[in-house]
Structure 1
Amino acid sequence: MLIVVAYDISVKDQKGAKRLARVAKICSRYGQRVQNSVFECLIDQLTFVKLKTELTKVIVEKTDSLRFYNLGDHYKNKVTHIGTKEVLDLTDALIF
């Protein structure tokens, strides 16, 4: 299933900047960045629970925000992209 993760981390202090970096690093292990604070993750339900748990432990709920959008398994017709920032098709083989 495709999960879209969006976050807004308060960076008013040094701890916030570190939280922001940790959230981005966690998200990058599960998917690809498609906007500054938005990741697309092609994962199963168990992995989604793990991702959500990891991120919830990092953020401060009084100042930060996490949003998860579950687009399911039939997501290809639900996402339209216009403009720059080409992204990889997560279902294709990756060749470096």
Structure 2
Amino acid sequence: MYLLITYDVSTSSLNGEKRLRQVARVCQNFGQRVQNSVFECLVDPAQFVTLKHQLLSIIDNELDSLRIYQLGKNYQRQISTFGKVTSYEVEGDLII
């Protein structure tokens, strides 16, 4: 399952800055950052449940916003990229 995760965490306090770092860290564990507060993640259903649970346990529902878009099976046809490429093809070949 291909996900697009976006978030806006209030950083008006030190606790907010900590939440912001925690949300980014969790997202990095499951996918790749494509913009400052935007991640693309390719996960299976069990990973999705874990990811969602971890993120919901971090955010403050009164101050923060979290959006998770499930792009479906044919996600590659639904993504158009313009300008500087800041990510890699998740299902493509990776040469190290």
Q: TM-score over 0.5 for the alignment?
A: yes
Match of 2:83 in 1: 83
Q: What do residues 1-46 of structure 1 show as CA deviations (whole Å, max 9, x unaligned)?
A: 2100000000000000000000000000000000100000011121
Over the matched positions of the two proteins, sequence identity in percent amounts to 43
> Aligned residues, how many?
96
Superposed displacement of residue 94, structure 1: 2.3
Match of 1:67 in 2: 67
Match of 1:25 in 2: 25
Paired letter, 2:69: Y
Question: 5 Å matches for 1:35-50?
Answer: 35-50=35-50
Superposed displacement of residue 93, structure 1: 3.2
Following TM superposition, the consecutive aligned residue runs of length 4 or more in structure 1 with deviations greater than 6 angstroms are: none
Where in structure 2 are there 5+ consecutive unaligned residues? none
Query: What secondary structure sits across from 2:39 in the alignment?
Result: strand
TM-score (norm 2): 0.95
Query: What secondary structure sits across from 2:17 in the alignment?
Result: helix
Whole-angstrom distance in 1 between the partners of 2:45 and 2:79: 20
Whole-angstrom distance in 1 between the partners of 2:74 and 2:45: 15
Worse-matched range after superposition: 16-25 or 78-87:
78-87
Q: Is residue 2:7 matched to residue 1:14?
A: no
Which protein is richer in helix relative to its size?
2
Superposed displacement of residue 86, structure 1: 2.8
